[in-house]
Structure 1
Amino acid sequence: MTTYNPMRELPAKAGYKAGDMFVLCGELFGRGYANGIIDEARRAGMTIIGTTVGRRDADGTLRPLNDAELAEAEANLGGKIINVPLEAGFDMEPDGSGTTPLDQLKGVKTDEWESVRLNWEGIEASRQSGIRRFTANMGKVAEELERLIPAGASVLFAHSMAGGIPRARIFMPLLNKVFKGQGERFISSETFWNSELGRLCQLSFDEVTADTFRYLIDATVAIRKRNTAAGARVSYVAYGYHGCEVLVNGRYTWQTYTPYLQGWAKVRLEDVATAAWNEGVRATVFNCPEILTNSSALFLGVEISLYPLLAALEKEGNGKAAEQVRQECQALLKPDAGVRDILEKANDYLASPVLAPFGDYAGWPLHNTPELAELMLGCSEELLGMNANPKEIVCGVLSRAVFSGVGRLMFDAAWAPAAPVFWLNHDVIARRLQAD
């Protein structure tokens, strides 16, 4: 388990400038964590290069983006995209017999999931095939980057790959019960995780979320050696999650969303960064606060820890940024609801005795209980119900504030990184947002 290492002081301003290069490993979809650091790179005048996961045709074939898709992706990124498919994982990768992990799960009914038995030799063959495909394509991306990146340019690589839920129909109804189920619809995350389907998920999460960071670092060794030899800086950053400190009863307290099944892969991601760091590579995982994005919407309740950011902004200076965020949030609430009501409700949840056993950092990640699910999901529903429009919610404002603050902190810290793993908690993010 990584030693807890929260960032307490704002890093000095990064020295990146026009002519330096920013490379995003992971395609940009919608708005999320990566947008914050891209905004900083653009503001500094860096040249922005992106990648794509590619697309799957109807027959399952993985291909590069077509002209229209490429134009849309480059417009979204605001930079050039190297059009080599970097889809991670192995769920659609055939083994020696031509069978994919998804083929093994065809026709499985939701009431049969606990009895599923998989061919693990076939799964391992698919996993190895997926690794070969990904690393070969990453090698092609690296070759293109060598041509695009000048020898004297400083380079910031940002790894944003995460996820890895296998694309079999059986998973979404099951995971909805794991993350959102109550009463008869509740499924224990521990029971799921210890099943064969859970084991497959863990392998996939590890590959997509963590191992791809290692593949990126390994593939770009030539760029790293060439550019550092020329006096430039080459750093790698990645997005982690390992709980977050928020204000609970007026004190910053480490807490976590449960059940976070990708937590084991996020620990593995930290291990990748630490191993690279020990080899002399400037690689850092930044453990970020909870936000609400398209991908995190499956984890209903994860957003409750966002609300105390309003209190942190007040505590850490209460300047113009705090007032602006408060006003934006208040404008989205129903007439009979106020920011104080939200803070009180969120604090009651976070301070609940039901959550006390889940504040065990050494035991993280932990599994859910029916009592936790009932409390968390009920509180989440009440808080979301305070918004006037369910499509324009306070969590959106707070999420944008978080990824803006996170982006600036990561960008500046990457210029002269001090450790392989940092936690970016509400205190330092609130100070960052109000520093300018």
Structure 2
Amino acid sequence: MREIPATAGFKEGDVFFLCGELFGRGYANGIVDEARAKGMTIIGATVGRRDNDGTLRPLNAEELAAAEENLGGKIINIPLEAGFDMEPGSDGIAPVDRFKGVKPDDWASVKLDQAEVEFSKKRGTERFCKNLSAVVAELEKMLPAKGRLLVVHTMAGGIPRARVFMPILNKLFKGQGDRFLSSEAFWNSDMGRLCDASFNEVTADTFRYLIDATAGLRDKLEVTYAAYGYHGTGVLIDGVVTWQSYTPYLQGWAKIRLEDIAIEAWEKGIKATVYNCPEILTNSSALFLGVENSLYPLMDALRAEGEQKILKECEGLLKEGATVDTLLGIANTYLTSELVTSTRDFDSWPQHNKPQQQEYMLNVSAELISLNADPKEIVCAVLSKGVFQGVGKLMFDSSWEPKAPVFWLNHDVIAKTLAKM
């Protein structure tokens, strides 16, 4: 996306449906804020909760009240948990329970019965689609006779919830030296294949299910769909907007699948758009330490647009002697390093990690974060908030009259947007 879209014409009486649950501060907050400002009717979903015995249930009264307050709208209280990691196979064993007794160092030797995994996946899909149909039936009752409906898909992730996965993934994304773990080796293991199937189901296929389940609504109202993608970002490197990406981004294949689903829908005349968003640093992205290294050049883009407020806030968080230019210099050196550029290839994205590349990325991340005066009040948080706001505005306005099935929201257009907000 090169130019800022015209302001959306959504108004009071139009409906905004968030398919996915709002947790903390993240990307979805930006677009929800836009919908609220327009006076739209805000309706949300919930992933539900799991009881101690693993049973999936709706929210209880207390949870529902908190979730609705957080959303600023009504939540349809039918569990829309995506994925299949806790769905029993034909033998009664769920994927998460197939790792009992498995230690993190055993990852390469784990063997899974793919037929059982497929059985669990089929059951998970059936459960999700059945519940989704019930959610859509409730949503339909809340819709006006005429107007617009904006459906926003926020489902992502899908890391299986067996305890053994997190230490392995921590090593994969953050390991250096003897602790380095090849993402390619892991991805080609049975545990990696399970992640691949789970990411596809949660991140991508739920968008297809959502589009299909709401077909009847398109007969009654004008419906547009928006989903959050990631496929690298254009940032200022040596003063030129250049595509780059975090490595290793294992959800990348699922994100490409998400784009393909939008393209297929678009070809059928359905206005479904995936917006590829920039790298940010949040609680959910903390596993991917170093992802924020390419967030710093946003300050350069903001400066080019004359946006000083965010820059001043960033400058105020730095240690004595450090400046915005200090951060920009380190980030630019990182982004032009051969260790980083050697894996920068759009056509073969996503790439796997390499020992020296990962070590360099993590060391630069630590160096940049160390320049904050207070480790709890960091520049990345300010920039991430700006990205949420910019992305929310761009997605919301673009969704009024979508122009393509896939957009990249690069730093230049986000900076232009923030300069006008």
Q: Name the TM tier (shorter chain).
A: over 0.9
Q: CA deviation at 1:20?
A: 0.2
SS at match of 1:332: coil
Give unmatched runs, 5+ long, in structure 1.
1-6, 228-232
Within the candidate set 2, 25, 34, 1:8 is matched to 2
1:241-285 Cα shifts (integer Å, max 9, x gaps): 000000111111100000000000000000110111111110000
State the Cα distance separating 1:151 from its structure 2 match. 2.4
TM-score (normalised: structure 2): 0.99
2:100 match: secondary structure: coil
Equivalent residues of 2:2, 2:413 under 8 A apart = yes
Match of 2:415 in 1: 430
Equivalence for 1:120: 114
Match of 1:291 in 2: 280
The Cα shift of 1:330 comes to 1.2
CA distance in structure 1 between the aligned counterparts of 2:98 and 2:271, rounded to whole angstroms: 41
- Give 1:84's aligned amino acid: I
Task: Specify the alignment match of 2:219 in structure 1.
Answer: 225
Which residue of structure 2 aligns with residue 301 of structure 1?
290
Amino acid at match of 2:174: K
Secondary structure in structure 1 of the residue aligned to 2:353: coil
> Conserved in 1, the CA contact under 8 Å of 2:302 and 2:311?
no
Indicate which of 25, 30, 46 corresponds to 2:19. Answer: 25
Distance 1:264 1:49 in 2: 30
Select which of 389, 404, 414 maps to 1:419: 404
Deviations 1:133-191 (A, max 9, x none): 00000000000011001120200000000000000111111111110000000001000
* 1:335 paired residue number: 320
**Counterpart Cα distance in 2 of 1:330 and 1:357:** 32
Q: CA deviation at 1:392?
A: 1.2
Between the aligned partners of 2:17 and 2:416, the Cα distance in structure 1 is 27
Matched, 1:345 2:330: yes
The match for 2:89 is 95
Of 345, 352, 357, 1:367 maps to 352
Q: Which residue of structure 2 aligns with residue 193 of structure 1?
A: 187
1:4 aligned partner: none
- The unaligned stretches of length 5 or more in structure 2 are none
| Secondary structure, aligned partner of 2:316 | helix
Residue 162 in structure 1 maps to residue 156 in structure 2? yes
Query: How many Å apart are 1:214 and its aligned residue?
Result: 0.6
Q: CA deviation at 1:394?
A: 0.4
* SS, match of residue 196 in structure 2: helix
**Distance (whole Å) between structure 2 residues aligned to residue 180 and residue 419 of structure 1:** 36
Provide the secondary structure at the position in 1 that maps to 2:224.
Answer: strand
Pick from 241, 244, 247 the counterpart of residue 236 of structure 2. 247
Once structures 1 and 2 are overlaid, which stretch shifts more, 386-395 or 259-268? 386-395
CA distance in 2, matches of 1:376, 1:433: 28
Segment drifting more, 385-394 vs 135-144: 385-394
2:138 corresponding residue in structure 1 = 144
Match of 1:108 in 2: 102
Match of 1:35 in 2: 29
Q: What's 1:389 paired with?
A: 374
Give runs of aligned pairs for residues 251-330 of structure 1, distance below 5 A.
251-315=240-304, 317-318=305-306, 322-330=307-315
Partners of 2:172 and 2:180 within 8 A in 1: yes
Task: Tell me, in whole angstroms, the C-alpha distance in 1 between the residues paired with 2:105 and 2:166.
Answer: 13
Query: Does the residue aligned with 1:365 lie in a helix, a strand or coil?
Result: coil
Give the aligned residue type for 2:315.
Q
Are residues 1:234 and 2:223 paired?
yes
- Contact in 2 for aligned 1:256/1:358 (Cα 8 Å): no
Identity level (%):
63
Structure 1 residue runs of 4 or more that deviate by more than 4 Å after TM superposition: none
Alignment of 1:172-183 (within 5 A): 172-183=166-177
Give the aligned residue type for 1:97. D
Distance 2:8 2:395 in 1: 10
Asked if 1:75 corresponds to 2:69, the answer is yes
In the other structure, the counterpart of 1:204 is 198
1:87 and 1:294 map into 2 onto residues whose CA distance is: 20
- Of 254-263 and 96-105, more deviation after overlay is shown by 96-105
SS at the partner of 1:371? helix
Cα distance between partner residues in 2 of 1:33 and 1:201:
23
Cα offsets for 1:336-368 (capped at 9, x unmatched): 211111111111100111111222100100001
Contact 1:255 1:358 (8 Å CA) reproduced: no
TM-score, normalising length from structure 1?
0.96
Deviation at 1:314, TM superposition (A): 1.1
Question: Size of the alignment, in residue pairs?
Answer: 421
Q: CA deviation at 1:224?
A: 1.1
Is the 2:303–2:311 contact (alpha carbons within 8 Å) kept by the matching residues of 1? Answer: no
Q: Distance in 2 between matches of 1:57 and 1:391?
A: 33
